[in-house]
Amino acid sequence: MTVFPESDRVHQRHWGFLIGAGLLGVAAIVAIFAPFITPHDPFQQDLALRLKPPFWHEGAEPGYLLGTDQLGRDYLSRLIYGTRISLVLGLGAVLISGLIGITLGIVAGYFGGWIDTAISALITTRLSLPVVLVALAIVAIVGGSLTVVLLVIGLLLWDQFAVVARTATMSLRNAEYIAAARAMGTSRLHILVREVLPNIRAPLIVVATVEMANAILIEAALSFLGLGVQAPLPSWGLMLSEGKNFMFFSPWLITLPGVCLFTLTLAINLMGDGLRDVQARDR
């Protein structure tokens, strides 16, 4: 857990963080080992076995723990693969947006002046673009796929990274060790990457958790509207959209993916809150 530098010290005592990390860990394991733990092929349809309820209902089909969907595909297997999609999407989007946002933020905060003005204007521009709307428009033009959705969300969610990185860098700009490095003739790139970045890491990690949860929810919303990840991929949002027409008489088709989505975003948010609390305490 080197990603979370403070984890050894305080986090053991923060329940929210522990629960969140635990749930996220389980999700990660499920996603990584998906092919080995799914009882069925998540794509294989069997129209004779369609809309079977989960095991706690009457009429459940043995071997299909969480029932089947409208095409007779094993729901548990689809939910498991859905974890993969959400996590890949969340991590991928945060990597892209983090790279863009942090670079812009550090540059703006360190150099100030007209560079800062320009980048701040860029941030304001980004903030005034409605994310879901723009993402939908682009997907509508380019066509939906996991890659497209990942790229689009990644390219849209960098604003908070930039804001936080900029403010944090500004407060460091005149710190003694930075001034010392500058005096020693260290290259600017070196200063930014080696001196500034490590010292503003903590708040950025909190932003990363928030944006990851955000990215996952936006993907689900796009897929729910039919302009995101495309069938037959078992995106939770798409599963909700497919199950929606059946929700009156086969409610598990929407409760299960919804609960999964909720649990995953909750876990990530709990971790983020935990980190934030710890940082606040440390300060």
Partner 1 sequence: MIRFSRLLSATAVLALGATGALAGSEDNSLTIGIGEELPSFDGYISTSRDGVVMTRHLFDMLIYRNPETFEYEPLLATSWERIDDLTWEFTLREGVTFHDGSAFDAEDVAFTLNHYADPEAGARSQASVSWIENVEVVDPQTVRIVSDAPFPAALEFVAGSLPIYPSDYVESVGWQEFGQAPIGTGPYVYQAGDSNAFTLTAYEDYFEGGGKGTPAIDTIEVRIIPDTATRIAEMIGGGVDWIWNVPADQIEQLNAVPGLTAELGSTMRIAMVAMDAAGRANPESPLADPRVRQAVNHAIDRETLVSALVGGDGEVVNVPCYPMQFGCDTEAATVYDFDPERARELLAEAGHGDGFSVRMASFRDRARAEAVQQYLANVGITADLEMLQARASFSAWREGDIDMWYGDWGSFSIADVSASTGNFFNGGTNDGAQDAELIALIERGAATIDEEERRSIYSDAISRITEQAYWVPMHTIVMGYAYKDALDFTPTVDELPRFFLASWTE
Partner 2 sequence: MTGFLLRRLALALFVLVTISVITFVLSHVAVDPALGVAGDSATDEDIAAIRAQYGFDRPYLVQYAAYIGNVLSGDFGRSYLSGEPVIGLVAERVPATALLAFLSIVFALALSVPLGVLAALHPNSLLDRLALSLAVFGQAIPNFWAGLLLILVFGLNLGWLPISGSSSLAHFVLPSITLGTFAMPALMRLVRAGMIEVLDADYIRTARAMGLKERTVLWKYALRNAVLPVVSLTAVQFGFMLGGSIVVESIFAIQGIGYLAWQSMSRADMPVIQAIVLLVSMAYIVLTLAADLLNAALDPRLRRAS
Applying CB under 8 A, which residues contact partner 1?
43-45, 47-48, 50-51, 54, 56-57, 70-72, 143-145, 226, 230-232, 242, 244-249, 251-252, 255-256, 259
249 binds, among partner 2, partner 1, none (CB under 5 to 8 A by kind): partner 1
Instruction: Work out the burial of residue 70: count CB atoms within 10 Å of its CB; fewer than 13 is exposed, 13-18 middle, 19 or more buried.
Output: middle
- Residue 37 interacts with partner 2 (CB under 8 A)? no
Question: Binder to partner 2 among 76, 89, 106, 220 (CB under 8 A)?
Answer: 220
Site stretch for partner 2 (CB under 8 A), options 24-32, 48-56, 168-176, 266-274: 266-274
Nearer residue to partner 2 within complex by CB, 178 or 240: 240
CB contact at 8 A, 219 and 237: yes
Nearer residue to partner 2 within complex by CB, 180 or 259: 259
Nearer residue to partner 2 within complex by CB, 67 or 243: 243
Q: What is the DSSP string of the chain?
A: -TTSTTTTTTGGG-HHHHHHHHHHHHHHHHHHTHHHH-SS-TT---GGGTTPPPTTSTTPPTT-TT-B-TT--BHHHHHHHHHHHHHHHHHHHHHHHHHHHHHHHHHHHHH-HHHHHHHHHHHHHHHHS-HHHHHHHHHHHH---HHHHHHHHHHHTTHHHHHHHHHHHHHHHT-HHHHHHHHTT--HHHIIIIIIHHHTHHHHHHHHHHHHHHHHHHHHHHHHTTSSSPTTS--HHHHHHHHGGGTTT-THHHHHHHHHHHHHHHHHHHHHHHHHHHHHHH-
- Residue 237 interacts with partner 2 (CB under 8 A)? yes
Nearer residue to partner 1 within complex by CB, 65 or 170: 65
Q: Two tokens at 220? A: 């689900």
Site stretch for partner 2 (CB under 8 A), options 30-38, 68-76, 93-101, 219-227: 219-227
175 binds, among partner 1, partner 2, none (CB under 5 to 8 A by kind): none
Question: Binder to partner 2 among 145, 230, 269, 279 (CB under 8 A)?
Answer: 269
CB of 222 to partner 1, least distance (A): 13
Applying the rule CB under 8 A, the residues between 111 and 140 that interact with partner 2 are 120-122, 124-125, 127-134, 136-138, 140
As beta bridge partners, residue 68 has 74
- Residue 227 interacts with partner 2 (CB under 8 A)? yes
Q: Two tokens at 156? A: 């849209």
CB of 118 to partner 1, least distance (A): 39
47 binds, among partner 2, partner 1, none (CB under 5 to 8 A by kind): partner 1
Counted residue by residue, the chain has a size of: 283
The residues of the shown chain that bind partner 2, judged by CB under 8 A, are 16, 120-122, 124-125, 127-134, 136-138, 140-141, 213, 217, 220-221, 224-227, 237, 240, 244, 247-248, 251, 254, 258, 261-262, 265-266, 269-270, 273
